[in-house]
């Protein structure tokens, strides 16, 4: 998975977008699943863009990925 993430960062011409610690954490937490890896990275990239941050780091990852998930909405029965 590390090569997978590195490839995408290189192709996007932003090889230093993530810190080495965050890179390793994303790879570890994705459990070998490319969809999970890209989803986690996309969430971080979205938040970094909103905050105009120059690099994704583990502090941002902790903020984004430690939020409590919202319970699914249920439909009201009519």
* Domains of the chain by residue range: 2-65
pLDDT in tens, 40-66: 999 999 999 999 999 999 999 999 988
**Mean pLDDT throughout 6-20?**
93
Q: Are 28 and 65 in contact (CB under 8 A)?
A: no
d(CA 58, CA 22): 5
The answer for residues whose C-beta is within 8 angstroms of residue 36's C-beta and 6 or more apart is 29, 30
Q: Is 61 exposed, middle or buried (0-12, 13-18, 19+ CB in 10 A)?
A: buried
pTM higher than 0.85, yes or no? no
Position 66 scores a pLDDT of 86
Lowest-confidence segment of 9-18, 34-43, 61-70 by average pLDDT: 61-70
Q: Name the average pLDDT for the chain.
A: 89
Q: Can you tell me the distance from the alpha carbon of 77 to that of 55, in angstroms, rounded to the nearest whole number? A: 46
């Amino acid at each position: 998975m590390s090569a997978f993430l590195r490839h995408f960062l290189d192709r996007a011409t932003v090889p230093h977008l993530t810190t080495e610690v965050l890179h390793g954490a994303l790879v570890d937490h994705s459990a070998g699943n490319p969809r999970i890896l890209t989803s986690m990275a996309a969430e971080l990239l979205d938040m970094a863009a909103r905050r105009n941050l120059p690099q994704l780091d583990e502090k941002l990852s902790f903020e984004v990925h430690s939020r409590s998930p919202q319970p699914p909405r249920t439909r009201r029965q009519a």
